[in-house]
Amino acid sequence: MSQVTASLVKELRDRTGLGMMECKKALAESGADIDKAIEDLRKSSGMKAAKKAGRTAADGIVAVKSEAGYGLVLEVNSETDFVARDENFQTFVGSVLEAAYASRETDIAKLMAGDLESHRQALVQKIGENIAPRRAGSVEAPVVGGYVHSNSRIAVLVGLSGGSEELAKDVAMHVAAVNPAVVNSDEMPADIVAAEKEIFAAQARESGKPEEIIEKMIVGRVAKFLKESSLVDQPFVKDPDITVGKLVKAAGAEVVSFVRYEVGEGIEVEEVDFAAEVAAQVQGATS
């Protein structure tokens, strides 16, 4: 049997993206024949799953479940919208949601340990795309309501101190549409307020007005920014003549908290030049 050298292992890792031990085992079983090892690995599910896991999953769906004062919102990503609409994918999302809700676990790594991860890997093999439960959040309050937009790309949970689930759902629908940053203006992070002040100050000084007028302009613009960004101060989307805060107060309640998830937000998707990628692969194959 030919010797499995470190350089062979490295070359196989570079060509497949698999782990050292898996590559070493494949080389040992192939008699240190790297081409045969690659062929054997391509026949195995392990290599397929590993290759898929390297792709960016930035599409997918969000889902919520709430009752009895507790709600959970979940995002599970796929590579394409086509798979996000697949019945098998949606069944998997339902399984993850039920498990997370039952255990009240929002740590994805802990949640996916065990059977759910096996289910995910099997689905990757069947569908042929990377599938990745990304995040889960929860709301606990006397009254909790949830809303999922019809395309399952935006989901919201809202917790109220009183009122009804229907009211909480209405507020959640508003949050989905308007996307407030905080419940109340005093919750806005100080660094965000400071950054907005700098922007407004630069804009105001371009007017050439006296400094005392500029200061008043900055104060006014910051106040407007906070009002527009705070849930309770926003005109209710179903009735702009009343703010969300007044709507909730009329029902004898207050907004405790909310969580809003939108599919793929914050994920950087690498732009791929497919022509260049194919050319690179052809060159690699002939070099």
Domain locations in the chain as residue ranges: 6-43, 56-140, 190-227
Among 258, 256, 109, residue whose Cα is nearest residue 176: 258
Q: What is the mean pLDDT of residues 44-55?
A: 53
Q: What is the mean pLDDT of residues 52-80?
A: 88
Please check the confidence at residue 45 and state whether its pLDDT lies above 50.
Answer: no
Among 107, 138, 236, 124, residue whose Cα is nearest residue 180: 236
Contact 69, 100 (CB under 8 A): no
pLDDT greater at residue 128 or residue 284:
128
pLDDT at position 25: 86
CATH superfamily, domain at 56-140: Elongation factor Ts, dimerisation domain (3.30.479.20)
What pTM was estimated for this model as a whole?
Answer: 0.74
What secondary structure letter does DSSP report for 171? H
Backbone φ, ψ for residue 271 (5° rounding): -75, 125
Q: What is the mean pLDDT of residues 19-35?
A: 84
- pLDDT tens per residue across span 135-181: 999 999 999 999 999 889 999 999 999 999 999 999 999 999 999 99
pLDDT at position 171: 98
Q: State the chain's mean pLDDT as an integer.
A: 87
Rounded Cα distance between 70 and 81, Å, is 30
Instruction: Name the CATH topology of 6-43.
Output: Helicase, Ruva Protein; domain 3 (1.10.8)
**CA dihedral of 237, 234, 177, 185, whole degrees rounded to 10:** -160
